[in-house]
Amino acid sequence: MRRVFALTAILTILGIANAHAEDTLSPLHFQSQGPLGTIDKAAAQRGYEVYKSVCAGCHSLGKVHYRDLEALGLTPAQAAGEALAAGGTLNSPIKGAAPLNMGGAIPPDLSSIAAQRPGGPNYIYNYLTGFGPAPAGVTLLPGHNYNAAFPGGQTAMPDVLHDGAVTYQDGVQPTKAQEAADVAEFLAWAADPNLDARHQIGFRAIIFFAFLTIIAVASKRKVWRTQA
Amino acid sequence: MTAQTNQSWAASRLPCLASLCACLNARTMAPGGSYFAAFPFLIAVLAAFLSLSGIVLAVFYNPWHAFASVQFINRDVNQGWLIRTYHATGTTLIFALAYLHLFRSILIRAYRAPAEFSWLMSVKLLLVLLLTGWLGFVLTGGAAGHLSLVNAANAALSLGGLPGAVGLWFLGGPAGQGTLARLEVFHALLGISLLLVVWAYFASRKAAAQVEPAKAVAFYPYYLAQYFAALAVLAFIFVLLGFYAPGVSGVAANHIPAGGLALPLGAGVPWYLAPAAGLLGVFPTAKLAVAAAIVAVVLLYALPWLDRSGPDGAKGKVYCFFTWVLALDVLGLGLAAAGVLPFSPVLAVLFTGWFFFHFLVLTPVVTAMEAK
């Protein structure tokens, strides 16, 4: 018993020591991905900061409401504050500035972008960090920028993220890669806000039906034995 | 008076309850039935389950703002996402069971006399499912579903004659604002009519069953216990898919709202429609595609008469082998329609050709040879 307690204590201490040191960038991974994934609320909150200060200049998030931010760990007062700052209420959809016309391309609504694009948050990260000078032999259309992750390689969106584009309240260094990863996790949540509940219910349901299957098969065998 | 006292309180007041009990207790079923024989029962359970979850969805669904209302169900209705996951996962499983049931029926020659009618009902089940599933896919209001609807409506407009008139009556003209409102009604009607088809299947299967009276067992408790075990396994697979792979019954492009002039990359159809889409897609004009669909359906219906082995013909190994090849062929048609395979357009033509070859040539020739 004492040994179990000691082991638990060591694991707990290791867990606490590990809590804020997790590096999701090398290699790049998202807590929301995978069969047992959950939304990384700290990353998603930082991602909301990035969305609010950078993305919202052009992109709306029209299917998500300010009240939904409470699911990311914001208090009702904080969510109401966010709504008030944008001139809305808790029940207002999160609208960005009026969509700019980027030379004929209209910035898409970001509510479901992680579900719409193959690769989800990985694609968003690769896209936001994929800007660069066009390789030799590529002639860009007027008003377009080269992006290695975008199908076709040319996008009307400019390279908007850079080191220090936002100030994080939790002390995480706002490097360009960190901002891209955080906003990708935030948009993964926006596209699938029920992910945590789905995985939790699913886990319980699987345990329940595994036992039910065993009982049902055993009862079937017992019933049929009397027939023989 | 004595007959009255033998019956339960409820059965004496509602006689059909007594006949239901008699039906469950009658020794009419052969012992030792396979778990696979429970597929039609599972299909019936899923059809009822889809009807119930569909009623909940229909309460919140708005065909005039289809995509927005589906988003509303997913994000704002209490547990709406759960009901929608149930409906989508149930769709995937009912199609999987219907395909497996048809495959098994061909493999064990469950279609032969006197069970022709239960085979006809099995084929009808798949056809009604395909139409209902396509309508459900279109009703989501996503870009992929809308593209499919526009293609179907354009094909109906170009057909002319009786098929064109039927198509136009069904779709109500070119794909427009009101189309989804009428398709919602057809989706619900066809979905509930599935239960009737399954009932007809059970009735015909029961009439065709040849059971030795001395060995026969009753449904209760023997097959009830077996079907319950099959249902528990199905429920296990259901939660595994529904909660951990909810994207399996849709396509990514359907998360993009329909409309606008942009055609999303990778717009396709869900897996359960893919074999049919692959078969229809190889024909250059709508007229040919409709003709091919009619021929394919007639061939499927005609299978009991294409099998030339006679009522006592033995189960041949070569026929079994070609049935497995047919299963791979249908799988390949689906993969080719999804564009997963290399040289997909060429392979789709080959697979379509093999499908017709199997029923028109292989089935009569091989069964006749093996019956000798």
Q: What is the pLDDT of residue B167?
A: 87
CATH class of B17-150+178-256: mainly alpha
Q: What is the spatial distance between Cα B170 and Cα B156, in angstroms, rounded to a whole number?
A: 9
**69-108 in chain A: CB under 8 A from chain B:** none
CB atoms within 10 A of CB B145: 27
Q: Classify A217 as helix, strand or coil.
A: helix
Residue A118 CA to residue A123 CA, distance in Å, equals 7
Candidates B248, B255, B263, B265: best to mutate against A (most CBs of A within 10 A) is B255
Tokens representing A158 are 């400019």
Domain co-membership, A222 together with A149: no
pLDDT at B9: 85
Radius of gyration of chain B (CA): 23
A210 shares contact with chain B (CB less than 8 Å): yes
Sign of the C-alpha dihedral computed for residues B347, B353, B356 and B357 taken in this order: negative
Which residue do the tokens 């896209």 mark? Answer: A127
**Residue A5: what pLDDT?**
56
Rounded-to-integer distance, Cα A218 and Cα B319, Å: 36
CA B296, CA B353: separation in Å to the nearest integer?
A: 11
State how far the Cα of B367 lies from the Cα of B306, in Å rounded to an integer: 9
Task: Report the 10 Å Cβ neighbour count for B3.
Answer: 7
Give a yes or no: residue A20 inside a domain. Answer: no
B265 at A interface, C-beta within 8 A: yes
Distance from C-alpha of B91 to C-alpha of B99, rounded to nearest angstrom: 12
Does any domain span residue A96?
Answer: yes
Quote the radius of gyration of chain A (alpha carbons, Å).
23
Residue A140's φ and ψ, nearest 5 degrees, are -80, 145
Say whether B255 and A116 touch across the interface (CB within 8 A).
yes
The total number of structural domains that make up chain A? 2
The pLDDT, as a whole number, for residue B262 is: 64
* Residue A69: predicted pLDDT: 95
In chain B, where the domains are located: 17-150+178-256, 273-372
Residue A212 to residue B240, Cβ atoms within 8 A: no
Is A12 part of a structural domain of the chain?
A: no
Q: Look at residue A18 and tell me whether its pLDDT is greater than 60.
A: no
The mean per-residue pLDDT over the stretch A85-96 comes to 88
Q: Residue B279: is it exposed, middle or buried by C-beta count within 10 angstroms (0-12/13-18/19+)?
A: buried
B30 touches A: beta carbon within 8 Å: no
pLDDT value for B111: 92
Which residues 111-140 of A are in CB contact (within 8 Å) with B? 111-112, 115-118
Using an 8 Å Cβ cutoff, are A120 and A153 in contact?
no
- Record: contact A194-B229, CB cut-off 8 A: no
Contact B229 A209 (CB under 8 A): no
Coil/strand/helix, residue B126: helix
**Whole-number Å distance between alpha carbons of B56 and B187:** 14
pLDDT of amino acid B49: 97
Q: Each residue of B306-339: pLDDT tens digit?
A: 998 877 666 789 999 999 999 999 999 999 988 8
A216 and A164 in one domain?
no
A76 part of a folded domain: yes
In a domain, A4, yes or no: no
DSSP bridge partners of A26: none
Task: Give B85's contacts in chain A (Cβ within 8 Å).
Answer: 198
Residue A126 lies in a domain: yes
Share of chain A above pLDDT 70, in %: 88
Specify the 3-state DSSP secondary structure of B142. strand
**Chain B residues within 8 A of A112 when measuring between CB atoms:** 71, 255-256
The answer on A225 and A169 residing in a single domain is: no
Query: Does residue A111 share a domain with residue A177?
Result: yes
Give the domain range for residue A170: 29-197
The three-state secondary structure class of B42 is helix
pLDDT, chain A, mean: 87
A149 with A218, same domain: the answer is no
pLDDT at A20 over 70: no
On whether residue A178 sits in a domain, the answer given is yes
Q: Chain B within 8 Å of A198 (Cβ-Cβ)?
A: yes
Report the share of chain A in percent with pLDDT over 90: 63
Complex ipTM tops 0.90: no
Least confident of A11-25, A168-182, B208-222: A11-25
The mean per-residue pLDDT over the stretch A168-177 comes to 91
Query: In terms of domains, do A173 and A150 share one?
Result: yes
**How far is the C-alpha of B304 from the C-alpha of B109, rounded, in Å?**
8
pLDDT of residue B162: 87
- 8 Å CB contact of B222 and A223: yes
Instruction: Count the helix, strand and coil residues of chain B and give each as a percent rounded to the nearest 5.
Output: 75, 0, 20
Which residues does residue A77 pair with via DSSP β-bridges, in sequence order?
none
What confidence score (pLDDT) does residue A2 get? 56
Verify that A151 and A82 share a domain, yes or no: yes
Distance CA B235, CA B120 (A): 28
In chain B (372 residues long), the average pLDDT of successive 10-residue segments reads 60 84 84 90 96 96 94 95 96 98 94 92 97 96 90 87 87 82 95 95 90 86 93 97 91 84 74 94 91 96 91 80 97 91 91 96 92 79
Same domain as A116, residue A77: yes
Cis geometry, peptide bond prior to residue A133 (ω within 30 degrees of 0)? no
A124 & A202 share domain: no
Q: Does B256 touch chain A (CB under 8 A)?
A: yes
Residue A16 confidence (pLDDT) above 60: no
- Domain membership flag for residue A42: yes
- C-alpha to C-alpha distance for B369 and B361, rounded to whole angstroms: 12
The CATH number of the domain holding residue A76 is 1.10.760.10
Model confidence at A4, pLDDT cuts 50, 70, 90, reads: low
Q: Which residues contact A106 (CB under 8 A, 6 or more apart)?
A: A99
